[in-house]
Structure 1
C-alpha cells in the first residue's frame, strides 16, 4: 500500500503535542494531523510525572498535618510508628485516588483531540526518511505515513539501575519513579539513590507516609544546582523529618537479603575514598537520571543528529538537523519541565502558524520550577553562584530572610525555610529568587511576574499587599540586602 500523507505528524503525546496538534488542525483542517502515541495520551506529566506525583504528595501533606494535629489543638486518630506518631495510612486508597485523577486527565486529553479532528494512531513510530514515518502496533502490520512536517515529542524515561548485583534482587523491590507510585503498601524502609529533585520528592513523600527513608547521593550537597545555603536548609528540614541523608558517596553494589523484612542491601563508599558502608531496605528507588526515548526512533534514517546521551539536537527555534523536523519537550535535553515543553509548543505555534508575528526562540526564556518537598522550593532566574560567575563586574547583592519573619507562616505554624533574592545593586534589577517555604512555588511566581514586567525590587518593597498573606513578605525581604 502507498504511504498515507498528512500535513503534520507528531511523535509522542507529551505536554507540547496535544495543543500543537489542535493548532495544526485548526490551521490545516480536520484529518490533516497524525499523532502517534506508544501507550497513553498526555505523556510523562499526566501519566507518570506531575499529575500522579503531586496527587500523592497531597496525601503525604494531609498525613503530615494529621500527625501535627495536637500542635494546633486538634485531636486525631493516630498510630505509633518507628518515626513517632503518624496518621493511619491506606496506601491502596492513595494509589486509587492517584489513578482516578490520572485517568480523568488522560481521557479529557483524548476527548479534546478527537473533538478537534486530530487523527490518533497507537504504536511505536520510527523514521524511514526525514519526512516518512513507519508505525508498528503489536499484532498489526506496520503502516507508513508521510508529512510536510514532523514533530518529535517522545520525552524521556527513568534510567535503568546501573548497579552490579541488581539482577540478584527481587525486581518488585527495585523501583523507579513510575513503579514506586504503584505500590500497594508503604515500604518499611526505602533506600533512595539520588539526592536530586525526583529522589527528594519521593523520599520526603514516603517519609510522610511512615516509611523509614535513607537517601544516598554522589554530590556533596542535596539539589546540586541550588546555592549551598539553600541546599543546607533543605537538608536540615529533611533530617528534622527523620530522613537519613548520606552525601558524597558512590554506590558499589546491590545485594539480596532476607532480614526482618529487609530485602535489599545497598553497599556504598565515600567518593573521596574510605571504607565501604551499607544500608538495608525493604525497597530501593533508583532516581539517578532519565534517558531520552530516541533509541526506538531510528533517528539516523531521519537525518536527525543526537548528542552523546541520545538527546535530539535543536537550534533556538527547535529545528533539528533535518529540514521540516522539529523536537519539543524533554527529548531535546535542557530543562525537563512540563511548562518548558508547553513553551516549546508556543514557539512553534507562533513561528509556523502565525507568519505575521515576530519569530520566537528559546534564547533567554525564563525557567521557573518548584520542587515538591514540603515546604516547597520555588526558584526563578539566576542563583547567587550563577549571578556572580556570569556577571563578575556587576554589583551583585543578596537579600535573605527566614520564614520565621513571615507573619502568615507563623500563624499557620509553617516557619521552616527561607527566601533569597539576587539583585543588581546598581540598577535594582531582580536577577533571581528562591523561596523555600510554605507555598514557595506561588511566592516565586509573584516575583517571576515582577521580573517579566522588569520591575525593580523597590516595586515589591513598596507595594501594598493584603495582610496577613504570604505575599506581604515581599515587603520585608529587601531590608536584608547585603
Structure 2
C-alpha cells in the first residue's frame, strides 16, 4: 500500500506540528507522524516540549512558586494561613492534566486543518519515501513531494552518573518525583538544571548544583549572569562552579536509597556529596535514531545534527529538517518559526527566519531573558556600543508587587543607536524581552523605545528607563557619568 502526500512531517513537537498545520493551511495534503505514547500507551502529539519539557516544567514551576509565596511572602501582605502542606502527587496530577489538555489541543488543531495524524515511527527512505510503522507494528510506505524531519532531541547521558530512573534521573524523571527530596543534587547549572532545581528548592529540598564550567550561564550576558547568580544564591540554591563530576554510587534499598557523587572542585580537590535524588541535565543531543536509511541522501554534521542550509533544506532534494535536530539554539519557538518558514517555502513563498532576534528565557523566579548580542560578543567583534541599565528596585510596580530584584540592560550601537541586544533578570522578563524583540525586528533605536509612552505603574517601565539610560537620560535613577 502506498499513500501520496504533498508533505509528510516526522515528529509533532513545536517544530513539527506547527509545520504540519501551516502546510495544511496552504492547501497541501499533509500527514504528521509521532512516536510519543502517554502512560497508557496511547499515541499523543506535542513531542518533548509538551509532554516532558517546556509545558510540564512550567506547570511545576508555577505550583512551587505559589507554595513558596504562601510560605514566605503572604505575611508581608497581611495574609495569614494555617499550617502549610504540599501534596506532591496532587501537584504532579495537575501537571499531567495540563499536558493532556495541551496535547489534545494539537489533535483538535490537526482535525480542524485536515492534517492526517499518524502514530508510530517514520523512517526516511530514498526518493522522498517514508517507511511508517504504526503502534501495532504494521509497516507501510508513504510517498511525499516533500518530507520535513522534526525528530527533536533527547537528554545527554554521562557515564559517571548513569540514569536509573529511580535515584538518578534525567529532566524527564525530575518531573515525576512523588515526594520532596530532602537533599537534591543537580549536575548542570544551565537552563534545565536551574528550573528543576528551583522547583524542588521552593518545596523544601536542599539543592546543590554542580556546574563544570567556570562561568555561570556562559551563554548569557555576564553582567546579568552575575546578578542572577547573586539572586539565586540568596534564594538558597547552592551553585558550585568549576566542579567536574567523576563518579557516583547508589547505596541502600527502597526509600533509604541515596547516591554519593564524587567530583573535583575549582581547586582540583576531590569532594563527595550524598543526595536522596540526583538530576542529570548536562545538555541535549539531536535524536536521529532509526530516522534515516543509509540511502536517504540526508547527511549529519560532526556533532550529529542533520545538515541543513539557512533555509532548512537538507542535502536530499525535497527533504527539510527543523527544530532541535538542526543547528542553532534548541528552543521551541525557534523550531516553530523554522517549521512555518519551510511550509511556506514548499508552497512557493519566500520567508526567512531572523536568527539574530530569537529570545532566550530561563523560567526561574525571577526570570532571566535575553535577545540579540551580549556585551561580551560585541567586545569580541569590536563593535562600538553604549549600555543602559535600570534596576527593578526603582520601579514602583515591582516594589509594590514585592518583586524588586533584578535589572534591565539595554545595548545600542554607539553611532547609530540601533538596539543590538537586551538582557533582563527580573519579574516578567519573558514577556518584557518580547517588547524589545519586536522593536529590534523593526530596526528600532534605544531612543525610539525611550520616546514611547509606557503605562504606569508597570514592570515594563524598566525597559523604557534602560533605553533612556543608554544616552544618560534615565529619569528615575542617577545616570552614570559619560565619557567626553
For residue 119 of structure 1, the aligned residue among 116, 119, 130 is 116
Query: Cα offset for 1:221?
Result: 2.4
1:46 lines up with 2:45 in the alignment: no
Partner of 1:376: 367
Q: What is the RMSD of the two structures over their aligned residues, measured on CA atoms?
A: 2.0
Post-superposition CA distance 1:316-366 (Å, at most 9, x none): 11100100000011111311111111111221233221x3x5x22345441
Write the distance in 1 (CA, Å) between the matches of 2:6 and 2:229. 51
Post-superposition CA distance 1:2-56 (Å, at most 9, x none): 4332222111111132232233334446xx3221110121122211111111111
Partner of 1:145: 142
Write the distance in 2 (CA, Å) between the matches of 1:27 and 1:70. 55
SS in 2 for 1:135: strand
Whether contact under 8 Å (1:130, 1:325) holds in the other structure is: no
For residue 75 of structure 2, the aligned residue among 70, 79, 100 is 70
Whether contact under 8 Å (2:408, 2:463) holds in the other structure is: no
Query: Cα offset for 1:420?
Result: 0.9
Alignment of 1:185-264 (within 5 A): 185-258=179-252, 261=256, 263-264=258-259
Alignment of 1:394-473 (within 5 A): 394-473=383-462
Q: Unaligned regions of 5+ residues in structure 2, if any?
A: 37-43
Write the distance in 2 (CA, Å) between the matches of 1:364 and 1:174. 36
Query: Cα offset for 1:120?
Result: 2.0
Partner of 2:379: 388
Partner of 2:129: 132
Report the CA distance shift for 1:350/1:28 in structure 2 as closer, same or farther (over 3 A): closer
Q: TM-score, normalised by structure 2?
A: 0.91
Post-superposition CA distance 1:409-444 (Å, at most 9, x none): 111111111211111122111110011001111111
SS in 2 for 1:234: helix
Write the distance in 2 (CA, Å) between the matches of 1:114 and 1:186. 40
Whether contact under 8 Å (1:262, 1:281) holds in the other structure is: no
Whether contact under 8 Å (1:218, 1:250) holds in the other structure is: yes
SS in 2 for 1:97: helix
Whether contact under 8 Å (1:305, 1:320) holds in the other structure is: yes
Alignment of 1:353-372 (within 5 A): 353=347, 355=348, 357=349, 359-362=350-353, 364-372=355-363
Whether contact under 8 Å (2:20, 2:343) holds in the other structure is: no
Report the CA distance shift for 1:310/1:118 in structure 2 as closer, same or farther (over 3 A): same
Query: Cα offset for 1:138?
Result: 4.7
Whether contact under 8 Å (2:357, 2:440) holds in the other structure is: no
Q: Is the deviation greater in 131-140 or in 414-423?
A: 131-140
Write the distance in 2 (CA, Å) between the matches of 1:471 and 1:28. 40
Whether contact under 8 Å (1:38, 1:123) holds in the other structure is: yes
Q: Unaligned regions of 5+ residues in structure 1, if any?
A: 79-86
Whether contact under 8 Å (1:36, 1:121) holds in the other structure is: yes
1:268 lines up with 2:272 in the alignment: no
